[in-house]
Structure 1
Amino acid sequence: MKFAGRHSLPRRDVVSEPPSFLELDFLLLHCGLTRADANGKMMITSSGILLPLKGKEEGEVSVVASQVRGYGLWDGDIVRGGTLLDELEGLAHSLLILWVTDAQANMLQREMAILHNSTAKGPACFILLLVMTEQLSELQAALLASMLEMTDFREGRASSAEQPTSPLDWSDGQLLLQSCPPPLDEHLLDLLGQLPEVSSTSARQGIKQSSALPFASRLIQYPAAPSRGRITVTKEDLSCLERGEFLNDVIIDFYLKFLLLEGGGCAVAERSHIFSSFFFKQLSRRQVADERVAAFQDPYMRHQRVKTWTRHVDIFNKDFLFVPINQDAHWFLAVVCFPGQDGVHYEQQTSTSRLVSLRSEQPPACTQQGCTRNTVLTRPCILVMDSLKLLHHEHVCKLLRDYLQVEWEERRELHRVFSSDNMHNCSCIVPQQDNSTDCGLYLLQYVESFLQNPVVHFDLPPHLVNWFPRHRVRQKREEIRSLIMRLHKSQSQA
């Protein structure tokens, strides 16, 4: 069955209301220079797309809904000029094209490398090619379109009039492929076939300009190549540092990584692990309300979604785990303290770095710079730092404890219960924001202050109201902008 156009989606009014989830058969995924065969049906929900894949280690990768910048569904016949479907000659297939953010592309590249037990090949690719098992029916295509038009997916959609809009047609897709860095551009164009001859000089000029759009706005990659796990910051990301704007995932992840690698300036950073802002989103994403809901709510199933994120780090050897969380458009921070410690410990302070200052506000008495105790108390706990205190955090802390319990079993091959009895959670008394948009800045300042002046005495709840002055947060937008532009200048010169 053919669609109305060779590469157009059916009318969206075919389906009056999107389903809670959609499962579709697919054959394989091309992610940059890496290919992986399907190991089950893909599942599309309001929070993202789950792709079970085969590899040296079977597993799954996921695409967060808000990280999808665009999508297209094409008839397989249109790419017969490429090599993608050579081995599938004679069969009818649909192709699902996903255009994702650079942050999501970096994450997928790491997950695919882990799946194949290999190092990442080439640069991360923001174009994903999914070959479906067959040509989708009109109803299936309409259902898919309705899912990909839901609010969570549209959050990451390109809004500029100059950017391609969804659903991506064949020409827009080709322009995006041409804008990929080498050797990805040649590889993808070889898979899908070359762009047809453009006779008009002005049209060729337009293609050249348009194809560069996704990368013309790129400012930096941090850490710089060839480091792994790089985060790409664009001009569009920089715009969220304007006064009155909410910080996005990219700025949050960039600055947290900078703090861990370069900004901490103390041994606390070496004893810490900072999770990506996608971590909790993946851990907590809701599943479909059907007969399998109990299985998906199981801690082991939730852990399965993020088990590869700590493949190269044993979090139980760390003292502090920082988890940035965004719920209901509000950022706050959870700090898991001493996850590998069993019970309460009392420790002698071997040295102190008490702050000698003429400031009217002295550092909090529970922190390194303010503590005058000879003996301090440490305990496994989860500290929640919220600049608004508008949300209840019990469910968040339970999900984190469940994750730790399964991770412990995976790492130690021993059973250990992580409960509210042996790992308390509490809301810290921290500096509060005085507007509706600075929650992300306060999250970053909480982490920065913890690295520079950590809590050492864990008598709950920690009183940290004098941790930092409010004007430090007010300056942070410009500080981060200046940092990004300094790195941009340095990387451009290099």
Structure 2
Amino acid sequence: MVHEVEAALVPTPPDEVLASAFRLNISRADMHTLTDTQWLNDEVVNFYMNLLMQRSQKEGFPTVYAFNTFFYPKLVQGGHAALKRWTRTVDLFSFDIILVPLHLTAHWCLAVVDFRKPHIAYYDSLNSDCEQPQCLATLQKYLEDESLHKRSYGLNWDCWTLKVMDVPQQENYNDCGMFTCQFAECISRDAPISFGQQHMPYFRKRVVYEILHKTILSV
């Protein structure tokens, strides 16, 4: 495993494709963002979110849908109308959990819709003590518009909460993407978030292996 991971992190030739699935390709250049000092790129985050969706189809896991990293910027720019085609064949309200990876001002974080709670929650490894971010209200409006569009009625927001979660904090400025992925990993199996900065080197190597083998390892 160690040799395989180390070989995958060699950055050249940068365009060589190391993994293909979900209509996504991970090149050596993409994989190299998983080295210790790099920021994860969109391709790695999106591939990983698809792995979590794939795992959620197994018995015993909550059902999960993950938007890609381009969803939220498009939502901010064009509102629900710009995204109607994105869920043409997807019923968001049939899932337990929706994961929304966010890239906000050069920083990765995560929003989570859990229809079982129900709530919209914000997970940020750099600002867990921040006030309620705008993204929660933006996603709330999106869900309302989606419900009206697909089901012709809105959601009962009286029983919903919008919340900022108290989560482990990163101790540098390059691990936000890995924290975001691992928040999503724990949430998508209803597990407590109990990792910290000290686990990031391990998680980076583990995600390399998981991408190469197109599966999430059992904990």
* TM surpasses 0.5: yes
What's 1:451 paired with? 188
Distance 1:325 1:268 in 2: 23
Among all aligned residue pairs of Structure 1 and Structure 2, give the percentage whose two residues are the same amino acid.
29
Change (3 A) 1:422 1:394: farther
Deviation at 1:236, TM superposition (A): 1.2
Q: CA deviation at 1:268?
A: 2.9
Q: 1:264 to 1:245 in 2, by over 3 A?
A: farther
Give the distance between the partners of 1:278 and 1:453, measured in 2 at CA: 25
Query: Post-superposition shift, 1:276?
Result: 0.7
Given that residues 405 and 418 in structure 1 are in contact (C-alpha distance below 8 angstroms), is that contact kept between their aligned partners in structure 2?
no
Summarize the alignment of residues 173-184 of structure 1 with structure 2, pairs less than 5 Å apart. Answer: none
CA contact (8 A) 1:266 1:451 kept: no
Matches of 1:263 and 1:272, distance apart in 2? 6
Q: In the alignment, is the contact (CA less than 8 A) between 2:52 and 2:64 conserved in 1?
A: no
Cα offset, 1:333, TM superposition: 0.7
Quick check: 1:426 aligned with 2:163?
Answer: yes
Q: Can you list the C-alpha shifts for 1:429-486, whole angstroms capped at 9, x where unaligned?
A: 11111111101101111111112334xxxxxxxxx5x533544333111112233344
| 1:166-224 CA distance string (max 9 Å, x none) | xxxxxxxxxxxxxxxxxxxxxxxxxxxxxxxxxxxxxxxxxxxxxxx99x52222114x
Task: Give the number of equivalent residue pairs.
Answer: 201
3-state SS in 2 of match to 1:220: strand
Which of 268, 276, 283 aligns to 2:61? It is 268
Gap change, CA 1:434 and 1:418, over 3 Å in 2: farther
Q: Are residues 1:477 and 2:216 paired?
A: no
RMSD value, Cα: 2.5
1:389 is matched with which residue: 98, 104, 127?
127
Answering whether residue 106 of structure 2 is matched by residue 313 of structure 1, we say no
CA distance in 1 between counterparts of 2:18 and 2:117 reads 42
Q: Name 2:52's counterpart in structure 1.
A: 259
The amino acid across from 2:126 in the alignment is L
Structure 1 segment 120-269 matched on structure 2, within 5 A: 216-223=15-22, 230-262=23-55, 266-269=59-62
2:109/2:177 contact within 8 Å kept: yes
Matched-pair contact (CA < 8 Å) for 2:16–2:27: yes
Give the Å deviation of 1:256.
1.2
CA 1:445–1:266 in structure 2 vs 1: closer, same or farther (change >3 Å)? farther
Aligned equivalents of 1:401 and 1:486: distance in 2? 36
In structure 2, relative to structure 1, the CA distance for the partners of 1:484 and 1:336 (3 Å cut) is closer
Partner of 1:409: 148
Answer whether contact 2:121 2:136 (CA < 8 A) is retained. no
Task: Specify whether residues 486 and 272 from structure 1 end up closer, same or farther in structure 2 by C-alpha distance, changes over 3 A only.
Answer: closer
Mark the runs of 5 or more structure 2 residues left unpaired by the alignment. Answer: 1-12, 215-219
Change (3 A) 1:262 1:241: same
Return the alpha-carbon distance in structure 1 between the equivalents of residues 174 and 156 of structure 2: 34
Residues 351-390 of structure 1 aligned to structure 2 (within 5 Å):
379-389=117-127
- Within the candidate set 277, 285, 296, 2:69 is matched to 277
- Mind listing any 5+ residue stretches in structure 1 that lack a counterpart? 1-212, 224-229, 286-300, 339-377, 455-463, 488-494
Q: Quick one: structure 1 residues 408 and 485, their matched pair in 2 at CA, closer, same or farther if it must change by over 3 Å? A: closer
Per-residue CA distance 1:395-423 (angstroms, 9 max, x = gap): 11111011111101111112x2665x543
CA deviation string 1:73-118 (max 9, x = no partner): xxxxxxxxxxxxxxxxxxxxxxxxxxxxxxxxxxxxxxxxxxxxxx
Query: Matched residue of 1:475: which SS?
Result: helix
More helix by share: 2
* Offset from partner CA, 1:269-313 (integer Å, 9 cap, x none): 4x221111111111013xxxxxxxxxxxxxxx5111111111111
Larger radius of gyration: 1
Shift of 1:387: 0.5
Q: Is the 8 A contact 2:108 2:180 kept in 1?
A: yes
Q: Which residue of 1 aligns with 2:99?
A: 322
Contact 1:222/1:232 (<8 A) preserved: yes
- 1:275 alignment partner AA: F
CA separation in 2, counterparts of 1:304 and 1:423?
Answer: 24
Question: Which amino acid in structure 2 is aligned with residue 410 of structure 1?
Answer: H
For 2:185, give the aligned amino acid. E
Distance in structure 1 (CA, Å) of the matches to 2:91 and 2:179? 28
CA displacement, residues 23-73 of structure 1 (integer Å, 9 cap, x when unaligned): xxxxxxxxxxxxxxxxxxxxxxxxxxxxxxxxxxxxxxxxxxxxxxxxxxx
Partner Cα separation in structure 2 for residue 453 and residue 336 of structure 1? 13
SS of 2:108's partner is strand
**For residues 316 and 472 of structure 1, do their structure 2 counterparts lie closer, same or farther at Cα, with a shift above 3 Å needed?**
same
Judge conservation of contact 2:169–2:196 (CA < 8 Å) in 1.
Answer: no
| One-letter amino acid of the structure 1 residue matched with residue 32 of structure 2 | S
Counterpart-to-counterpart distance in 1, 2:121 and 2:87: 21
Cα distance, 1:231–1:261 mapped onto 2, change above 3 Å: same
